[in-house]
Every structure is written in C-alpha cells, then in structure tokens.
C-alpha cells in the first residue's frame, strides 16, 4: 500500500539521515521522536515501509514491541539527542517538526 505523501516524505528524510539503515540502538529513540508528532497508525505505516524495503532489519512484531516501549518508557534524552543529530546531519530540519 502506498503511503500518503506526508508519510512518504518522512521515510525519505529518514533514509537521508540513515543512508546505511537505522542501527539497532536508534530504533526506540527514533520511534519516540516520530511518536511526538504522528499517530500510532502513522508510526506503524512508516515502520512497515522501512521493514518491507530493508531499512530496518526487524519484523513487525519487533516494531510493535518497540512502539510499546516508547509509550511506556521514553528513551533517555541522550538517545533522543543522538537520533536528532543523525537526522539533522541528513538534512532533516527537526526544529520544523518540533522534535
């Protein structure tokens, strides 16, 4: 299923920020940042796309667990800052999205 244009643009920004794919230690803070501005359904759609296209070497079940961790235990501020810097290095204006 094709993503709406807004979500597709987020996937492209993520790929710019993580040209080699998202490393395991960044999954939780990345999805925590996304969850600040997107619905759970939108975060799931982005995760599904990244999984299907090989950008995340995990399963949908893994992502569901990660999203659950995000909603129950936020990642450390250091982890969030690390992901924010990575995305900014790829050209993502995190301030525009209040991340």
Total number of domains constituting the chain = 1
Residue 96 lies in a domain: no
Q: Answer whether residue 99 shows pLDDT above 60.
A: no
Query: Cα(36)–Cα(40) distance, rounded to whole angstroms?
Result: 10
Looking at residue 1, its pLDDT comes to: 63
Rg (CA), the chain: 12
Range of the domain at 36: 5-89
Per residue in 44-93, pLDDT (tens digit) is: 898 888 888 877 777 777 777 766 666 666 667 887 788 888 878 877 67
Q: In the structure encoding, which two tokens stand for residue 70, read together? A: 């995000």
- With respect to residue 66, please indicate whether it lies within any of the assigned structural domains: yes
State the CATH number of the domain containing residue 25. Answer: 1.10.150.430
CA distance 38 to 80: 16
- Higher-pLDDT residue of 4 and 17 is 4
Inside any domain, residue 97: no
Q: Which of 24, 25, 37, 78 is nearest to 13 (CA)?
A: 37
Largest CA distance in the chain: 35
What local confidence, expressed as pLDDT, does residue 8 receive?
A: 93
In this predicted structure, what is the pLDDT of residue 69? Answer: 66
- Residue 38 placed within a domain: yes
């Amino acid at each position: 299923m094709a993503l709406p244009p807004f979500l597709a643009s987020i996937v492209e920004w993520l790929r710019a920020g993580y040209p080699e794919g998202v490393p395991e230690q960044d999954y939780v803070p990345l999805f925590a940042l996304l969850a600040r501005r997107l619905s759970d359904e939108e975060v799931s759609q982005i995760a599904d796309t990244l999984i299907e296209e090989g950008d995340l070497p995990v399963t949908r079940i893994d992502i569901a667990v990660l999203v659950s961790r995000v909603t129950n235990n936020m990642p450390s501020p250091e982890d969030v800052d690390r992901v924010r810097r990575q995305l900014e290095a790829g050209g993502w204006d995190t301030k525009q999205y209040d991340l």
